[in-house]
């Protein structure tokens, strides 16, 4: 699958208990979860600037493909569900993700390069575990802010190096060391200054020029 999105939406699960066991408000918002990048997503700086948390998650199920839909005709599911196993990194001012998130549409994973083939993304597999940077949007929905990385034998897939800068930085890193890597990365100061705005608002803060009034001469 090429790096293009399928118009999916992300919806916060009806299970509103956060990973740490506290109660989260029930806000069943929806947001685009496909990989039509709404915010920059290529580097770890992007992850900590536009993400609210980085989680270890297992894909636990999916809604069967709709053969009448363009992507469904290619076998793309109508939705996938993830169980959040662990928070690997959390911004200090950000909300905590729920323990379960239902996504309408498929979740995309970085595919290791093979020879000279173009960079591709593939559909997440039920039963497999991934590292997922997620953000919460103003409508209450949670969505990935970048493609996911697969876990193989307790480590991030070592073969994803050479694809994206964030994959280069995390390839072959043990799950327990992900937080250490992320804690060494500084966010974009303009995006950081726009918190508690959602990921899109933070991105807009980095691209919208600030007009300063000049005193009359």
CA distances to 18, 60, 76, 81 from 101, in Å: 11, 10, 18, 6
Is 123 in contact with 76 (CB distance < 8 Å)? yes
Instruction: Report the predicted TM-score, pTM, of the whole model to 2 decimal places.
Output: 0.79
Local mean pLDDT, 10-residue blocks, the chain (217 residues):
33 38 34 55 94 96 83 78 95 92 84 71 93 90 91 96 92 96 96 94 84 54
The DSSP code for 72 is G
Q: Is 167 exposed, middle or buried (0-12, 13-18, 19+ CB in 10 A)?
A: buried
pLDDT at residue 120 in the model: 76
pLDDT at residue 122 in the model: 87
Q: HSE of 126 in the Cβ direction (CA atoms, 13 Å)?
A: 11
d(CA 165, CA 143): 20
Q: Of 146, 141, 154, whose CA–CA distance to 107 is shortest?
A: 146
d(CA 23, CA 135): 18
pLDDT tens for 3-22 read 332 223 343 333 333 344 43
Domain definitions of the chain by residue range:
9-194
pLDDT tens for 35-64 read 445 789 899 999 999 999 999 999 999 988
């Amino acid at each position: 699958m090429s790096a293009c999105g399928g118009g999916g939406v992300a919806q916060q699960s009806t299970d509103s208990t956060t990973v740490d066991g506290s109660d989260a408000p029930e806000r069943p918002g929806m947001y685009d979860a496909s990989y039509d990048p709404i915010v920059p997503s290529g580097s770890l700086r992007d992850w900590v600037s536009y993400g609210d948390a980085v989680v270890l998650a297992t894909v636990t199920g999916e809604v069967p493909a709709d053969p009448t839909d363009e992507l469904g005709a290619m076998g793309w599911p109508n939705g996938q569900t993830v169980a959040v196993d662990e928070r690997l990194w959390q911004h200090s001012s950000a909300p905590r993700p729920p323990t379960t998130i239902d996504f309408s549409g498929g979740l995309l994973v970085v595919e290791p390069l093979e020879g000279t083939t173009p960079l591709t993304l593939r559909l997440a597999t039920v039963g497999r575990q991934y590292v997922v940077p997620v953000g919460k949007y103003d409508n209450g929905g949670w969505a990935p802010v970048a493609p996911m990385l697969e876990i193989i034998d307790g480590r991030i897939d070592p073969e994803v190096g050479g694809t994206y800068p964030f994959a280069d930085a995390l390839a072959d890193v043990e799950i327990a060391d992900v937080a250490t890597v992320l804690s060494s990365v500084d966010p974009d100061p303009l995006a950081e200054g726009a918190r508690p705005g959602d990921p899109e608002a933070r991105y807009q803060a980095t691209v919208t020029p600030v007009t300063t009034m000049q005193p009359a001469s």
